[in-house]
Structure 1
């Protein structure tokens, strides 16, 4: 099942179905959508977050898990609760427009929850693209905004191309370097095809998202070689050595295998998100665990209306995707896919089982959080 493939940090089908089924039956429990959503809202409102902002966060976190991005779903709830309860993030308010034209806007996120800021900015960029053909909105003074694909998907749902990126707390070493000076800076691109089909790229510019190391730690699994290095810069398969003083590698890994390309993409996201917006950037962004001051992250939202250019964009997008899907695969049981197909498969399975399956260790952690902040524990359907 796709969920467990994602959870183990692999998207190439290298886990046998029998192993997946065994893990499902012993270590994973089903939780319904409404239960997840309500639990997140209860947790956030219990620490003073407004109902509106709590709902925005719940929509984002559930969507991440629903699409199979468990590293950025309810796994991140602990951090959002800490951000608000510590005062590092504002509990209520609205983003502020600092400068605006027909096609661009510069926003102050007012130190609000990242999903609140992200939704505001993306909605504004979509409106401008529908009116002028292009909308570019960048913001400063925001916080962790979850999966970048949540926002670019909003654009493709309107027949538009969405390109989203953000900077993050430093967790990567640059190519040829050993200091942790840049984030895993995510990048997402969504483009619509015919009949609800779409291209959906949602990726970290590190080998994998930092949260996938945390997920493997939670499940007691080692990580594949090539994800990251220890505090001395040596490759490691031990999650603790990355989480305690180590770092992620840029997409591509070492220089000889193309790591400089991932490093370049991380810098691109940093320029578009941090430098352009006037937020903190690179090594100036606070550490993820530092709750003593605002994060002041920057995000970038670019929306393009393809209907302003060559006609029949969606027809040609679908033709491209179908040609790729129908090309010859190396193994018959693992056909060629395009970005977004695994997420659709995961959503289809979640709809079928009427919920999302979570590792029992994660459920235990969530219930410990519930006890700590005084809300009802999460209930499993199975």
Structure 2
């Protein structure tokens, strides 16, 4: 059976699927602590509370460490701009509006999304330990980084964790021409034995917007089904998607079941925007708009598996092992489960002594440090 230890060894001989479009062998490396310091300094330089800056910095570091570069440092300037313009605040704290033993309704009070997310998932975890399940919905929130960060918080406590958020309208539903849905990510983290876990963290679009932005920054074409141009036609040019076009739902076109991706997008919208009474669908502010408050809706769920049949972790590990032990279609690539690519990437980062960044990303961070008058990130040669 392919164990967690076996999967981690793959980092030596198997390319990480999260980096399959790029070669990171010669990228500069930055330690996790240094990335966090830099993000924190950038945020506090524009008036963010230190504790709020810490919450945000932790999410950004985890995104890059796990290989989701679209949601790490790549997003820092967006948060800086939100605080600098005052469209997101840092002088308030999330507040519980109503609750039952198993549920809570939270007003994020327009603070940074990771602050709201940590607050809500901590409540969900507490309620799950007391009542078997904790279901928390928030309004008045903002972009909160990778959804998996919050689901993993619950999994680390031996619980099933789920996290959902609606986002600005970027996705064009099947047969439509205009974007009305967000990428609306879904995350589920389920614990197995000996530190193993299943961690699903996915957008309900074919690809995250940040990935399209990174392709444009590196002047690379995007694969089929990632996006459409302003006329609703599929394109391989990332600039066409970013300038008046839109992303495609999971599955792409109708003939490849894009309507299922649209359905998942609506599922998240119901759990988040509709249930919380926050903005939803096309009513959400456009991406990087700093003239109106985002008022995003988010949903956080924690479930105690011991409320049901005992032995959940063992069965979870057995299922993951069955999957990993399947004969691969390509001899040089093992079968993985959700969370394995991220574990491989984290092992690679540990082996190199930090997170590897593309030279363009390092330059972007350097430019940002000059604008904000903060100490730039210190890079190091990979081990």
- Once the two structures are TM-superposed, the CA of residue 373 in structure 1 deviates from its matched residue by 1.3
Q: Distance in 1 between matches of 2:281 and 2:39?
A: 30
1:283 alignment partner in structure 2: 282
1:298-323 alpha-carbon deviations (Å, 9 max, x no partner): 11011111101001000000000000
| Stretches (4+) displaced over 6 A | 1-4
Q: Distance in 1 between matches of 2:134 and 2:324?
A: 31
Q: Distance in 1 between matches of 2:368 and 2:202?
A: 28
- Once the two structures are TM-superposed, the CA of residue 219 in structure 1 deviates from its matched residue by 1.6
1:6 alignment partner in structure 2: 18
Contact 2:18 2:341 in 1 (8 A): no
Q: Distance in 2 between matches of 1:7 and 1:333?
A: 16
Pair 1:137-2:149 in alignment: no
Q: CA RMSD in A?
A: 1.3
- Once the two structures are TM-superposed, the CA of residue 3 in structure 1 deviates from its matched residue by 8.3
Which structure 2 residues correspond to residues 1-382 of structure 1 after superposition, within 5 A? 5-7=17-19, 20=23, 24-25=25-26, 28-382=27-381
Gaps (5+ residues) in structure 2?
1-10
Q: Distance in 2 between matches of 1:72 and 1:7?
A: 14
Contact 2:273 2:296 in 1 (8 A): yes
CA pair 82-4 structure 1, distance change in 2 beyond 3 A: farther
Q: Distance in 2 between matches of 1:92 and 1:367?
A: 28
SS at match of 1:224: coil
Contact 1:7 1:216 in 2 (8 A): no
- Once the two structures are TM-superposed, the CA of residue 6 in structure 1 deviates from its matched residue by 2.1
- Once the two structures are TM-superposed, the CA of residue 181 in structure 1 deviates from its matched residue by 0.7
- Once the two structures are TM-superposed, the CA of residue 4 in structure 1 deviates from its matched residue by 6.8
Q: Distance in 2 between matches of 1:57 and 1:122?
A: 15
Contact 2:152 2:199 in 1 (8 A): yes
SS at match of 1:357: strand
Contact 1:7 1:70 in 2 (8 A): no
Q: Distance in 2 between matches of 1:4 and 1:340?
A: 12
Gaps (5+ residues) in structure 1?
10-14
CA pair 92-80 structure 1, distance change in 2 beyond 3 A: same
Q: Distance in 1 between matches of 2:133 and 2:331?
A: 42
- Once the two structures are TM-superposed, the CA of residue 224 in structure 1 deviates from its matched residue by 0.7
1:166-223 alpha-carbon deviations (Å, 9 max, x no partner): 0001100011101111100000011000000000000000001111001111222111
Q: Distance in 2 between matches of 1:231 and 1:8?
A: 28
Contact 1:172 1:182 in 2 (8 A): yes
Aligned length: 369
1:232-263 alpha-carbon deviations (Å, 9 max, x no partner): 11111111000111100000001111101110
